[in-house]
């Protein structure tokens, strides 16, 4: 008997994602000028207002208001009619010094012995059903919104789009977990007010999504995945009707409220900790990236068709309290999941200080993670520019950094050797 599985994504203009992007931009700017910065930055957005709160320990000063306005403008909230606009919104900063009680348990004389920034469990997941080792329903949801965002920015084929949007995809799977077809696609996109009546407005939006956006998404996919668009897909486009009021004016946004969108769309598991606004001493973030790196390299090496890794920590302690592996009975090696976990612990050093070093997490690489998922992205070298105020006026630096290092398949050969895979 086949089954259905659904995942969703949200655009960079969704209020929760606006918050994530502001928090991560602030983090990046601190790390750009002081790589040892400790940052836990939370953001709340609502009609005409941004509130920043959290804890910072750094030897640099940055203009958080200027950074916040640049992020909002870059997303596309640059018109007064949106009731949330980059140049006019109020910004309240309640950022303060990090608690020394927390810091004393993290910092060590030897960076390799750095303690975990908190207790908790983190998960990494990978599956071979897509080229980027991500669950298909989530991958398609991200792709739909990326195409929609690009068409909004281009403004040529579709002229009425506003920044806030959501997408959801339901996949039909066979009993052996192989995608069979796309059952349902849901897209809700914010838009300008139409002069025509609501029915004509909805007809135009539905036509554009199905006939302009979806073909661009389909063209990005491998031929075997293109076949899943079988012509029997149920489409629900703006199913509630008019969607003019949106973004932070339509719904308040908070950092860290889209943790399933950020990870695996409900596949695998999640430990509950959010990522954005946190420096890598917080294992909620760094260990989740490390677990994804492990899972992806093991699946790419052929250890299993899909695989979940859990790692857990005690605050202030460097060594993880446990490592767990679940292959969902898809293992291709003659080992139990417990035996696979033992080999994982042998191959990968999961102390927080080592994770930071091996994945280059003390670099300003986080703004790019804050929309369309932290996993399944392309690792690449980019040059980024950062500003701060100094005694001599404005100081600008350029940094070449490597994004999404945890997505690299740089341990496949080591895994194959350890597991005896030819």
CB 63 within 8 A of CB 49: no
User: Among residues 5, 14, 348, 368, which one is catalytic?
Assistant: 14
Q: Is 38 annotated as a binding residue?
A: no
Q: How far apart are CA 116 and CA 123, in angstroms?
A: 16
User: Among residues 5, 8, 17, 162, which one is catalytic?
Assistant: 17
Q: Is 55 a catalytic residue?
A: yes
Q: Is 53 a catalytic residue?
A: no
Q: Is 384 annotated as a binding residue?
A: no
Q: Is 287 annotated as a binding residue?
A: no
CB 43 within 8 A of CB 58: no
Q: Is 192 annotated as a binding residue?
A: no
Q: Is 162 a catalytic residue?
A: no
Q: Is 153 annotated as a binding residue?
A: no
Q: Is 14 annotated as a binding residue?
A: yes
Q: Is 36 a catalytic residue?
A: no
Half-sphere exposure of 188 (CA within 13 A, CB side): 17
Q: Is 42 a catalytic residue?
A: yes
User: Among residues 12, 16, 20, 118, which one is catalytic?
Assistant: 16
Q: Is 251 a catalytic residue?
A: yes
Q: Is 257 annotated as a binding residue?
A: yes
Q: Is 360 annotated as a binding residue?
A: no
Q: Is 274 annotated as a binding residue?
A: yes
φ, ψ of residue 195 to 5 degrees: the values are -75, -30
User: Among residues 243, 275, 348, 419, which one is catalytic?
Assistant: 243
Q: Is 166 a catalytic residue?
A: yes
Q: Is 157 a catalytic residue?
A: no
Q: Is 165 annotated as a binding residue?
A: yes
Q: Is 107 a catalytic residue?
A: no
Q: Is 55 annotated as a binding residue?
A: yes
User: Among residues 55, 85, 172, 204, which one is catalytic?
Assistant: 55
Q: Is 251 annotated as a binding residue?
A: yes
Q: Is 257 a catalytic residue?
A: yes
User: Among residues 278, 285, 292, 293, which one is catalytic?
Assistant: 278
> Which residue in 119, 148, 110 sits closest to 12, CA to CA?
148
Q: Is 300 a catalytic residue?
A: no
Q: Is 243 a catalytic residue?
A: yes
Q: Is 28 annotated as a binding residue?
A: no
User: Among residues 57, 162, 257, 411, which one is catalytic?
Assistant: 257
User: Among residues 63, 66, 85, 251, which one is catalytic?
Assistant: 251
Active centre residues (catalytic):
14, 16-17, 42, 55, 166, 243, 251-252, 257-258, 278, 282, 284
For the annotated binding site, the residues are 14, 16, 42, 55, 98, 164-166, 242-243, 251, 257-258, 274, 278, 282
For the annotated binding site for Mg(2+), the residues are 16
For the annotated binding site for K(+), the residues are 42
For the annotated binding site for ATP, the residues are 14, 164-166, 242-243, 251, 257-258, 274, 278
For the annotated binding site for L-methionine, the residues are 55, 98, 251, 282
């Amino acid at each position: 008997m086949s089954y259905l599985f659904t995942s969703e994504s949200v655009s960079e203009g969704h209020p929760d994602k606006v918050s994530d992007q502001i928090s991560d931009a602030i983090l990046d700017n601190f790390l750009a000028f002081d790589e040892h910065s400790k940052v836990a930055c939370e953001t709340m957005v609502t009609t005409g207002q941004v509130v920043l709160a959290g804890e910072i320990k750094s030897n640099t000063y940055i203009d958080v208001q200027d950074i916040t306005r640049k992020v909002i403008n870059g997303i596309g909230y640059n018109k007064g009619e949106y009731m949330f606009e980059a140049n006019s919104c109020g910004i309240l900063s309640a950022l303060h010094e990090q608690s020394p009680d927390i810091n004393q348990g993290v910092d060590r004389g030897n960076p390799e012995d750095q303690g975990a920034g908190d207790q908790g469990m983190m998960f990494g997941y990978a599956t071979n059903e897509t080229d980027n080792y991500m669950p298909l329903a989530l991958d398609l949801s991200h792709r739909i919104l990326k195409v929609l965002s690009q068409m909004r920015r281009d403004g040529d084929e579709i002229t009425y789009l506003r920044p806030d949007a959501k997408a959801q995809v339901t996949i039909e799977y066979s009993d052996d977990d192989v995608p069979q077809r796309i059952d349902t696609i849901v897209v809700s996109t914010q838009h300008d007010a139409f002069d025509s009546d609501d029915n004509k407005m909805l007809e135009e939006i539905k036509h554009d999504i199905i006939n302009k956006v979806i073909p661009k998404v389909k063209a990005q996919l491998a031929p075997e995945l293109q076949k899943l668009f079988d012509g029997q897909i149920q489409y629900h486009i703006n199913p509630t009707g008019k969607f003019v009021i949106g973004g932070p004016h339509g719904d308040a946004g908070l950092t860290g409220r889209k943790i399933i969108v950020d990870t695996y769309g409900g596949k695998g598991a999640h430990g509950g900790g959010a990522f954005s606004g946190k420096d890598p001493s917080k294992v909620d973030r760094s260990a989740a990236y490390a677990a994804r790196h492990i899972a992806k390299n093991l699946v790419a090496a052929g250890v299993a068709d899909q695989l979940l890794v859990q790692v857990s920590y005690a605050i202030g302690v460097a060594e993880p309290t446990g490592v767990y592996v679940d292959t969902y009975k898809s293992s291709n090696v003659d080992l139990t999941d417990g035996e696979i976990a033992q080999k994982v612990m042998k191959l990968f050093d999961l102390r927080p200080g080592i994770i930071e070093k091996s994945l280059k997490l003390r670099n300003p690489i986080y703004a790019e993670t804050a929309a369309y998922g932290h996993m399944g992205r392309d690792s690449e070298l980019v040059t980024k520019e950062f500003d701060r105020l100094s005694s001599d006026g404005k100081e600008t630096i350029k940094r070449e950094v490597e994004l999404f290092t945890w997505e690299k398949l740089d341990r496949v050969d080591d895994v194959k050797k350890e597991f005896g895979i030819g």
